[in-house]
Chain A
């Protein structure tokens, strides 16, 4: 559930150190070990941050800062939790504090990440760039649906967005989420419920009958 799982996420060379080993080495001031941890976890951390901020730039800034804080605070990383869980907690806190302090841009919806570009482009134009997918008009529908979902997600308050991102995007279980958010599991349960219901109310009229 913890390090072993995280380890599986990365490429699998013949001999590889666990997250815990890398974290321990990082704590002793080994940048290379920390670099490996960054490599392993940066995509997930970035994806989470993007879902929390709705902005590529803010997500990148927040994740970068979160990694640096993790490095500085490696001494406080207790081995009871996985590095991943610990890192995610830092990422969430970083994004939250940035949004509170206003250092972040206001949450601006970023158009479908499906094509990796940000903002502004109409969905059909974005889809047209893809050579191998469904034809543009169909792709547009997918992009539009995602756009609706992303916008609805961004419209939630931060804590609700965070818990949905951790549960329904990252697939973490309640215990992990409780650890990441620093709250009891019961709170996770109730907050997640409220967040999903809020999102549902926002989405239901907009999305068709299919779980796209």
Chain B
């Protein structure tokens, strides 16, 4: 396949709009072509950068302005009686005069305050595409790296419609490339916290990424303590039934290899020794996986019931589902293979499933939500000296 043709398909590729054959053609070409790989990465970054722009709210008086003019704008279907039209015409004239007098009217607008979860505010596009997931996870193994961008996952929009707005864009990049995973943060305050990267192929974050990452408020927590492992933590909520897909996505990205080194939650906390806030003392820590040597470092995935939203969810189901997920692990006492077993089963999902609606329609309020915390270490060894960080005291788990 020629580069020109491939590049012409990259946009659709990112959107999961290619056929399986086209997708595979692009994927295999990109794996072996540095130029096209670079194009794909740059395109993915561009898309993310746009999606990351802040959301604005309409001016507070917009509705009033509209409503004030409705009289002049009666629906065509429902023309009022003629005498009312006259009145309407008179009113329109009067209104026009008023408008002329108002030479400059303020149109205040503001962005959504990022520090405040947008309770009840609108959330946007909510398809989550975990595209091509099983291709590399199942057949290609962890050597296949993904560019996986989760854009614009906004925090809970209130208990009735929690989490899961936005879109996960997935593409694949070749094994030698930086692997990027951009996941939502429950803390919208630090915009950068919407994005994080882990190094692939045994590498760590490039210096510039490390620098950027360090500006994230959430990253200050681990760095604040001497001897801590810098760890990126992302906490968000998602539907219980979709958690296996997330795990698959992580697995496909080569981010865990629990069959070799599964560890218990307590051990994980020791792994994160020095960063206690990032290994929350939650008794319901479900699963911790440790990556294979040479791959990305320790990755921990914790799932527990979402305490905020369970009021709106069937509690029994919420409990039963995590229990089912825990079962394989407890059976092996948290030893090797605990997490991988269910993963392997999930990989049998049809390859053609490229888009998963994580929050479609009203089931969002009915299906149990789980809180997922992803921990991604940024460095192999503890931080020698903690930089003084203004936001250090901020809890790493905004929940």
What residues on B are CB-neighbors of A47 within 8 Å?
A: 55-57
Is A171 touching B126 in the complex (CB atoms < 8 A)? Answer: yes
Closest chain A residue to B389, Cβ basis: A135
* Minimum distance in angstroms from A98 CB to a CB of chain B: 15
What residues on A are CB-neighbors of B361 within 8 Å?
A: 4-5, 8
Is A134 touching B52 in the complex (CB atoms < 8 A)? Answer: no
User: Whole-angstrom distance between the alpha carbons of A200 and B75 in the complex?
Assistant: 43
User: Whole-angstrom distance between the alpha carbons of A116 and B57 in the complex?
Assistant: 9
Is B209 touching A72 in the complex (CB atoms < 8 A)? Answer: no
Give chain A interface residues in 36-81, CB to chain B under 8 Å.
38-40, 42-47, 50-51, 56-57, 59-61, 63-64, 67-69, 71-76
- Assuming the A-B contacts A211-B48, A212-B49, are A64 and B192 also in contact, with contact meaning beta carbons closer than 8 angstroms in the complex? no
* Minimum distance in angstroms from A210 CB to a CB of chain B: 5
User: Whole-angstrom distance between the alpha carbons of A68 and B69 in the complex?
Assistant: 7
User: Whole-angstrom distance between the alpha carbons of A153 and B121 in the complex?
Assistant: 25
A96 at interface (Cβ–Cβ under 8 A)? no
Is A8 touching B161 in the complex (CB atoms < 8 A)? Answer: yes
Is B43 touching A203 in the complex (CB atoms < 8 A)? Answer: no
- Residue from the list B67, B192, B195, B362 in contact with A4, Cβ < 8 A: B362
- Residue from the list B46, B75, B107, B364 in contact with A71, Cβ < 8 A: B75
B66 at interface (Cβ–Cβ under 8 A)? yes
What residues on A are CB-neighbors of B72 within 8 Å?
A: 68
Select the stretch in B7-15, B261-269, B344-352 that faces chain A.
Answer: B7-15
What residues on A are CB-neighbors of B123 within 8 Å?
A: 8-9
* Minimum distance in angstroms from B366 CB to a CB of chain A: 12
Is A68 touching B11 in the complex (CB atoms < 8 A)? Answer: no
What residues on A are CB-neighbors of B70 within 8 Å?
A: 31, 34, 68, 71
User: Whole-angstrom distance between the alpha carbons of A207 and B151 in the complex?
Assistant: 17
- Assuming the A-B contacts A174-B17, A197-B11, are A134 and B215 also in contact, with contact meaning beta carbons closer than 8 angstroms in the complex? yes
Is B111 touching A209 in the complex (CB atoms < 8 A)? Answer: no
User: Whole-angstrom distance between the alpha carbons of A29 and B70 in the complex?
Assistant: 10
Is B62 touching A63 in the complex (CB atoms < 8 A)? Answer: yes
B202 at interface (Cβ–Cβ under 8 A)? no
- Residue from the list A38, A43, A72 in contact with B121, Cβ < 8 A: A43
A172 at interface (Cβ–Cβ under 8 A)? yes
Is A138 touching B215 in the complex (CB atoms < 8 A)? Answer: yes
User: Whole-angstrom distance between the alpha carbons of A78 and B216 in the complex?
Assistant: 47
- Residue from the list B53, B66, B77, B191 in contact with A38, Cβ < 8 A: B66
Interface majority SS (helix, strand, loop, mixed), chain B: mixed
Is B62 touching A46 in the complex (CB atoms < 8 A)? Answer: yes
What residues on B are CB-neighbors of A59 within 8 Å?
A: 56, 109
B54 at interface (Cβ–Cβ under 8 A)? yes
Closest chain B residue to A174, Cβ basis: B17
B120 at interface (Cβ–Cβ under 8 A)? yes
Q: Among the interface residues A35, A116, A172, A207, which one has the most CB atoms of the partner chain B within 10 A? A: A116
Is B45 touching A5 in the complex (CB atoms < 8 A)? Answer: no
B78 at interface (Cβ–Cβ under 8 A)? yes
What residues on B are CB-neighbors of A15 within 8 Å?
A: none
Is A28 touching B77 in the complex (CB atoms < 8 A)? Answer: yes
B63 at interface (Cβ–Cβ under 8 A)? yes
- Residue from the list A196, A208, A211 in contact with B52, Cβ < 8 A: A211
Is B362 touching A8 in the complex (CB atoms < 8 A)? Answer: yes
B331 at interface (Cβ–Cβ under 8 A)? no
Is B52 touching A212 in the complex (CB atoms < 8 A)? Answer: yes
Closest chain A residue to B109, Cβ basis: A56
Is B190 touching A189 in the complex (CB atoms < 8 A)? Answer: no
B114 at interface (Cβ–Cβ under 8 A)? yes
Closest 8 CB pairs of A and B: A171-B125, A116-B110, A211-B48, A29-B78, A46-B58, A193-B11, A42-B58, A9-B122
30 contacts between A and B (CB under 8 A): A26-B75, A28-B75, A34-B67, A46-B62, A47-B57, A50-B56, A51-B53, A56-B56, A56-B59, A60-B107, A63-B58, A67-B66, A68-B66, A68-B69, A114-B191, A116-B109, A118-B109, A132-B115, A146-B53, A146-B191, A149-B50, A150-B53, A164-B50, A169-B53, A171-B126, A174-B15, A189-B11, A207-B45, A211-B49, A212-B191
